[in-house]
């Protein structure tokens, strides 16, 4: 039997869980917000970034992954995150919260500035090992998501799709969602061939996402 493309990532085994716990037990802290490439911190450690449409739940997911309820600012106002926010994880990782894209309530010139900064960051950060592209499980991949995926393709940055708010859809809707997502991802050469299904509210998939970060080289 042929396996499905882009399967759901398996939960970590005991050895991976131990390595993951060791990393995240050392804690995460906010480092700085960046509005220009000149403000980036030194590229001296492994880096992962989180990208997604406005209000997809990026800040909430980062808080869940780090175990810090207020580490990243969560808001019901689309477009609140207007800069690239860097967080340190231990002394070995950066976690990076990118500006939300899509329907951000901001002037056109401000949005254009964000887009230029985002493109420069993705194309110029050699220590960036993976981008996590967050997709709202209620809506699947939209055209604006494919734009960021195409940018990651052109920048040769591997990206992994993380489905958020999985608790907001019924079990019967999972197959339809996964079929749509898999079909869209098949067009993107930079797409990492595993999906992570998460719910920050229920804790679903958080251990898997943590383990993914902890095992990147």
Given this model, what pLDDT does residue 1 score? 37
The pLDDT value recorded for residue 16 is 96
What residues contact 15, with CB distance under 8 A and at least 6 apart? none
Q: Give CA–CA dist 75/178, Å, rounded.
A: 27
The answer to whether residues 103 and 124 touch, using CB atoms and an 8 Å cutoff, is no
87 forms beta bridges with 30, 95
pLDDT in tens, the chain (217 residues): 346 799 999 999 999 999 999 999 999 999 999 989 999 999 999 999 999 998 899 989 999 999 988 888 755 545 545 789 999 999 999 999 998 877 556 677 877 777 788 889 998 899 999 999 999 999 999 999 999 999 999 999 999 999 999 999 998 999 999 999 999 999 999 999 999 999 999 999 999 999 999 999 8
Residue 195 in tokens:
């999906």
* Residue pair 121/40 in contact by the 8 Å Cβ criterion: yes
Evaluate whether 24 touches 67 at the Cβ level (below 8 Å).
yes
Interatomic CA distance for residues 56 and 63, integer angstroms: 14
In degrees and rounded to multiples of 5, residue 108 shows phi and psi of: -55, -40
| Residue ranges of domains in the chain, CATH in brackets | 14-214 (3.40.50.300)
Residues 6+ apart with CB under 8 A from 61: 50, 134, 162, 164, 198, 200, 209
Retrieve residue 144's tokens: 């604006």
d(CA 119, CA 165): 27
How far apart are alpha carbons 106 and 82 in whole angstroms?
A: 9
**Per-residue pLDDT at 54:** 82
């Amino acid at each position: 039997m042929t396996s499905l493309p882009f399967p759901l990532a398996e939960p970590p085994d005991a050895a991976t869980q131990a390595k993951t716990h060791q990393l995240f037990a050392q804690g995460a802290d906010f480092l700085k917000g960046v509005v220009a490439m000149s403000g980036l911190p030194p590229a001296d450690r492994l880096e992962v970034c989180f990208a997604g449409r406005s209000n997809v739940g990026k800040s909430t997911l980062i808080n869940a992954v780090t175990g810090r309820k207020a580490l990243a600012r969560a808001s019901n106002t689309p477009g609140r995150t207007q800069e690239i926010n860097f967080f340190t994880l231990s002394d070995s990782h950066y976690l990076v919260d990118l500006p939300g894209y899509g329907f951000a309530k901001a002037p056109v010139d401000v949005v254009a500035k964000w887009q230029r900064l985002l493109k420069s960051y993705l194309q110029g950060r050699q220590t960036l090992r993976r981008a996590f592209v967050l997709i709202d499980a209620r809506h699947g991949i939209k055209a604006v998501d494919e734009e960021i995926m195409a940018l990651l393709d052109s920048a040769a940055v591997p990206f992994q799709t993380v489905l958020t708010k999985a608790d907001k859809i019924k079990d019967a809707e999972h197959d339809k969602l996964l079929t749509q997502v898999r079909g869209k991802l098949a067009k993107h050469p930079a797409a990492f061939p595993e999906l992570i299904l998460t719910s920050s509210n229920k804790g679903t998939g958080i251990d898997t996402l943590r383990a993914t970060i902890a095992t990147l080289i």
